[in-house]
Structure 1
């Protein structure tokens, strides 16, 4: 049974318990009402738990969809050369500077940028987001 069906069943059971409360029993009326109250509390807790599970399942479904989208993007748009991934040109060849491997693991596809803060002789490649430094030239794609 799916989560929505289970929630409906639990709600129906709560409705039945409310009906049972209104029944007049001649024998041990107080004990019967106490047991029905316990049952109502248990079913209410179960319903709240199922709502939490349903929300968690929806979050996991969204995460799975996001991961599938990232995999499809990697397969269609990126190509490996050496230890880096690059955006692919129209012929499927690597082009430009690589994608930051650190940020790629987080689902960000950012190209490295030149860090020219040390002057002309100290140009390195760094990630604009995580600031990881990948050293001097030599990482530009070679066709």
Structure 2
């Protein structure tokens, strides 16, 4: 059930982040809905041209506004999480760590292929992710320690 919920959230995040139209419709709808709810709230509380604040907990619009605020919070949180995830990749250290974690196996397999084909000069394309020189020096030093 949790996996299904995450899947739905990811689909909504993708829809939100990739669709300015959806964001515009959501914003326009939220303005209209909040106006209607606030108008209904004030209308329900007004008796003889005076607002009866003590009756706020007795009227339905109070609870509809609370539910609406929870939905707005959830939507805003999705936007925030999506933008935060994107901004993380602007940080070089985060990006390098992410690439190491996600791509390390592929990089190592490609590096092994390049080394076997004696094309070590092409290893520089991965230098921001893996420090091959320190790895190679470590192996050389390791071999020298044994002699």
TM more than 0.5: no
Higher RCO by CA contacts (8 Å cutoff, separation 6 or greater): 2
More strand by share: 1
Higher helix share: 2
The TM-score normalised by the length of structure 2 is 0.44
- What is the TM-score normalised by the length of structure 1? 0.45
Larger radius of gyration: 1
